[in-house]
Structure formats: C-alpha cells, structure tokens
Amino acid sequence: MVIKSNSITTYKEFTELADTLRESAALYYSGEGQKMDDATYDSGIISLREASDKNGWSDELLESVAGGQGEGDIEHTMPLLSLDNVFDNEGLEAFFARVAKKAGVKEANIIWAVEPKYDGMALSVQYVNGKLNRIVTRGDGYRGKDVTENAKDASGIPLVLPDGRTDTITVIGEVVMTHEGFDAANIIRVKHNERPFANPRNAVAGSVMSKNRNYKIPMSFFCYGLSSAPEGETHSSTMARLDSLGFLTASDIVGNLTAVGTAEVLAKITNIEENRANFEMDTDGAVVKANDPEVRKTMGEGSRAPHWAIARKFAPDTRQTSLINIAVEVGRTGNLSFTAQLEPVFVGGTTITFASVHNPSVIAEKGLRLPKTSSSAPQQVIVRRAGEVIPQIVGYANEDNLETTIPFVPPTQCPRCCSDLDTSGLIWRCLRGRECGIEEGLRYAVSRDCLDIDGMGLEIVHSLVESGYLNNVADIFELDMQKLLTVERLGDKNAAKILDGIEKAKMLPLPRIITSLGIKGTGRSMSRNIAKQFGSLEAIRSANSSEMCQVEGIGYVKGPSIVEELIELAPILDKLQSLGIGSAGTPPEASQGSSESLNTSSLAGLTVCVTGAMTGPLAGKSRNEVNELIESLGGRASSSVSAKTSFLLTADSESGTGKSKKAADLGVEIVSPEEFGKRYL
C-alpha cells in the first residue's frame, strides 16, 4: 500500500491518516510489534506534510505522528527538533542549492558533516558538575520523559566525565541496539516469558520506555550534538571533543565526518549505504549537517526542523509480501531451522525470497498462516532486512485472509530421521543430536578451512558412516588403509592420499580443531579467538560460562551455549586428547620460511582485514590461513574494514569496489601481499 498526498482532500482525511499513523507508531515504539511496513509509513508522513503545507493544516498534529515517542513532563534545555527527509539525490542537491543561496557561499566550498542516520530513539543526556544527572526522551521535541534508570547502562554513556568540569552540559544522541545486542535481548526476553522484539529499533524503544522490568537489555548510545558547544566551534570539533570524553560518535563507524561540496557528500553517502552491512547496528540513511556554525546561524531553524541539516533516507528496509510456505530443515548438530518462503520482494537493496522465522513459538506469536491450497490467497507479511542481517518476518499486514489460510503445523518428528524431537527449549532439536546430521558434520570437518583432508568427498564419508567406521570427528584420526579400502571404488592411491591428509591434520593448530567440531557460534575467526584465550583443549574444556563470555566476540549470549556444547562433546574431546590432537601450537608457516623464523610480535597491536586471492609470499593460501598467520604474528584478524583497521591486505587494490573502496574512503592503508612479506615475514 502506498498513500498518495493527492488522495487527501479534506481535513477529516488528514486527521484520520494521522490517527492511523500515530497508532502504528505507538505500537512500534512500545516494543509490541509492527503492523505497517516502512515504505507505507514513510509515504504517509510525506502525504501529511504535503497536505499540511498545501492547506495550512495542524503542524502540531503532524509532529505528534512523526515524533512517535509521545510527550513528557521534562522540559528540554534546547528543542530536540526532527529532520526533514529526502529520498533521492535530486532532493539532496536541491537542499544544497538552498543553503548555498541563503548563506551566500559557493556550493562547492561548503563544508558538511556526514553521519549515518541511526535507527533508534533520540535522547538527551544531562551532566551536572561532570556527573550524569538525567536522561530524557525526545518526546515532542520540547518535553520528554525521564528514562535515566532504563538508559544509564547503555554503552557510550559515561557516568562521570573525565575532564573535571563544573558546569551543566546536555549531550544529544540516539540510543540503538547492535545486531549482537538484539540477539541477546530476544534470548533474555524469551527466558522471562516475554515475546521477542520485532527489530532493534522496536527493542530499543520498548526497553527505554519499559516500567517495572527486572532485567536489563544491552543498548548503545551514539551522540550527535551538544547543547552548549563553545562559540564558533565546528560540528566535527564538537564530536572529536565528545569522543575524547568517552562518548560513541559517528567517527567510530565511518572515520572522518567532513566533506567539502556536493560531490564529496554524495560519495560519503554512497559509501555509508554500500557498507552499512558491515556496521554493528542498523542505519536507515545518512544525515548531512553544515559543519560551520556561521552557516548554521545564517540558515536558522524552523518549528519542526533545522534548515541547515537534512536526512537522506535509504530504501526502506521493511516491505510487504506474500508468505508462501514455511520449510523445516535439520542442521549438522540436529537443530531444526524454520524458514519462510516468500513471494520475491526487494528489501534493503536486495531481492528477498526467504526469511528466518526462528521456531514454532515465534511463528505462532507472529500469527503466521499458510495458504490452504496452492491457489488460495496467501497471508500478507512484513519483511525486514538491514545490511547483512538475515531477513526476518516482523508481523503480518492484514487479518482478512482467515478464510484462505491455515495455521502452521510444526513437525512432531525429525524431518530427516523420524526420531522424536526435543521441543523444550527455544531451539527445537532432534533427540539424536549430532548423530542425525553426522554426514553433514563430517563433510564440514574435513573441508579446507577445518582439517583440510583432500579427497574425502561426500560418497566416501557416506560409505564410512554406513560401515560404522566413522561416527564423529575423532574417528577420522583412527582411519587406516584397511578401513578406507572398504569403500567401493576407492583404490590404494586415493586411500594413501587421504591418509596423508589425516597425518597432516594431526599437526594442525588448535583453532582448526575447534572449527572442525562444528560448535554453533565458533566459526573460523571465533575458534582462533577461543584458542588464543585459553591456549589448550584442556583449558577450553575447563572454562565455565563466565570465562567463555570473556572471549573476544562471544559475549554473554553465545558463551553459555558454547560451554553446553563442549560438555556434550566430552567423549569426542576425550578421544582427541588421547590421540594428541589439538596439542600442536606451531603457527602456520609462511611460504618464505618456517614458523621458527617468524617474528611472532611483528603485527602486535595491529588490526588487519584480508580480502581476495593472495599473491607473492602468500600465494595459494586461503583467507583463513592468512588470518591464522596474522594472529600468529601477534595481530588481530578482522572480517571487515572500519576506521580502526590498521591496513587492508589485498592483491586487488585497484578494484574500486567492496573493501578496497571502503578502505580508500576511510583512509585505511592498503597493503599488497608482496609488501606484507617485506614488512612482517
């Protein structure tokens, strides 16, 4: 549904649309769900503004809808205005022209600050004598609600400012929820018998405004303004000062904020849109602000929004489409996954045909229904996608299809092996666990980035499982020529090749062994972090949940589940230890010398991102192998480029796309494999 402004011809239609949008916003900001997709909501706001401007109708009514957070009883020290939006570059260029004309400055000479538009909830954070005093919601822009108790624990809100100041300052910003924090929040919610949040912004709003909640939800606060900046201080200087005081700012995400002239601004916005998949949190656009306080003063502010700033919105990340089916699959650990099949819809820059629906309780909670027959009208659902986050269904859009749809009926037995299911937890699982997916698990274990046993394909794994010689990862290391030759059409030569691979696998470093176990949440990079933290298989097995949570990138959501899986894997780990597997501490070799010749601290303190095929001294190495090498040299391997990346290691620095482009935009050094070899090997 798209609302057109020319359809609003009377004040009654204007107020009815405002009521509809306000009800949708109230539901959304309460944390209770979402019944209208972003595209429909945005088009409704545009329609109200156009009708208001054309007919002179209530600006206050419009503001009550667009604000979305209601009023309050705490008066702001300065109005927290909203921003006008544009949805394409043409609208942005028209804004630039207006500013240049009124400010009497050449458009090409105006310095702008370009920041991601945070998809969260606006707050003002007041400090008195350097100590946190009060946190207030935006409300209607002039008054808000005191939410200090709910928001004070958000990352990026220091309780005490380190500069020993004795005045009162108010920092303006947005409280958001990272993707990891959102996953953690929903696990916490379910444990407290509450339904999952629909999305991070919904989760933030519900958490900030909650009453009598006996648990905390992880949130982060990014500031973007200060109520009392010194006279003449530029916006970028203010942000640098706040960054030094311990606040999170846009520079933590995109590096340098400033751009000179239209072309540079458009390039920065394109960079934000193309790379928002790598951000820790959702962003639904970019905010462009005049950096110079004199330009701001000349442009002034309206009752609703400043005239010196604007938001360039990206394509909405929620859309409406049809739910065709819900498929149930079994993973290699025996866990069941539930995936919705959708009528293809373009969301967040890509076409979506599938979306995660988690488990039967979530499916029932969201009220999802399937067509009665192949010709029945399907249910209309709202699909969300932000960056690289797995698409999700956040709700359904109508209730008028009950005659043509039926509730989803979850399986009562394992879809793969027909065994009984454990349905007691959030994740359903086949009671046979890993045994149900043993072949998939073993194929993963022998792959290049795990044990790297060449020649051990699907048919060979299947035959060895069928014969009873292969039941888990540890059994791989007890294979011999006699067992391998029971596989039909496997000759001596290929069997010898497999045995050679197994012998080499016995000497692989600990991270590879951890990865081969297929523990959920421990891919290649996380396995390296675990190995680095504990140093041995025995220490890893002995770690409790609290200790596991301290591993970089794990946190208190993944930690307990990893410990639980390690306990479940105890018999396999016993066998691996008895065979001496996982005790090799030798770092991977560089092509130009053995590990003994490496300077194991040459990359100490550096964060390196690797992309593309390697050349020179790193030729033939996979990205995982190069990452292992980086960490053996004391560095930190990162999967994405950010302002904190020390350098990007790539042989394709001239591509002008992807990580190379982002590195160039952020001023991150690009290093070739050849140069890497000269410096660090």
pLDDT tens digit string along 529-571? 899 889 899 999 999 988 998 888 787 667 888 998 899 899 9
**Number of helices followed by number of strands (H, E) in the chain:** 26, 24
Are the beta carbons of 445 and 473 closer than 8 angstroms?
Answer: yes
Q: How many Cβ atoms are within 10 Å of 317's Cβ, its own excluded?
A: 24
Distant-in-sequence, close-in-space partners of 215: CB < 8 Å, separation ≥ 6: 188, 192
Strand partners, 590: 593
Each residue of 262-292: b (16+ CB within 10 Å) or e? beebbebbebbbebbeebbbbbbbbbbbbbb
**Across 62-71, 342-351, 394-403, least confident range:** 62-71
Sign of CA dihedral 97, 98, 104, 109: negative
Mean pLDDT of 599-625: 85
- Give 594's pLDDT tier (boundaries 50, 70, 90): very low
Domains of the chain: 5-68 (1.10.287), 75-313 (3.30.470.30), 318-407 (2.40.50.140), 437-505 (1.10.150.20), 510-578 (1.10.150.20), 595-680 (3.40.50.10190)
Residue with tokens 């964060």: 607
Angstrom distance (rounded) from CA 622 to CA 464: 28
At residue 421, the pLDDT reads 94
Say if residue 445's pLDDT is above 60.
yes
Q: Which of 476, 468, 469 is nearest to 445 (CA)?
A: 476
Region of 422 on the Ramachandran plot (φ > 0 left; ψ -120 to 50 alpha; else beta)? beta
Say if residue 390's pLDDT is above 70.
no
The helix-helix angle for 570-578 and 555-568 (nearest 10°) equals 70
Are the beta carbons of 370 and 405 closer than 8 angstroms?
Answer: yes
At residue 409, the pLDDT reads 93
Token representation of residue 69: 């957070």
At residue 290, the pLDDT reads 95
Q: Are strands 283-290 and 111-118 parallel, antiparallel or unpaired?
A: antiparallel
At residue 540, the pLDDT reads 94
- What distances in angstroms separate CA 121 from CA 138, 208, 433, 436, 499, one per listed residue? 8, 9, 42, 45, 58
- Give 590's pLDDT tier (boundaries 50, 70, 90): very low
Are the beta carbons of 111 and 291 closer than 8 angstroms?
Answer: yes
Say if residue 492's pLDDT is above 70.
yes
At residue 5, the pLDDT reads 46
- Give 59's pLDDT tier (boundaries 50, 70, 90): low
Q: Exactly one of 54, 102, 117, 520 is catalytic; name it.
A: 117
Mean pLDDT of 130-137: 93
User: Would you list the DSSP string of 317-382?
Assistant: SEEEEEEEEEEEEE-TTSBEEEEEEEEEEEETTEEEEEEE--SHHHHHHHT-EEESSTTSPPEEEE
Are the beta carbons of 310 and 92 closer than 8 angstroms?
Answer: yes
What is the pTM (predicted TM-score) of this model?
A: 0.56
Are the beta carbons of 396 and 386 closer than 8 angstroms?
Answer: no
Angstrom distance (rounded) from CA 171 to CA 248: 11
Catalytic site includes residue 117? yes
Q: How many Cβ atoms are within 10 Å of 679's Cβ, its own excluded?
A: 11
The overall average pLDDT reported for the chain is 84
At residue 67, the pLDDT reads 46
Each residue of 596-628: b (16+ CB within 10 Å) or e? eebeeeebeeebbbbbbebebbbeebbbbbbbb
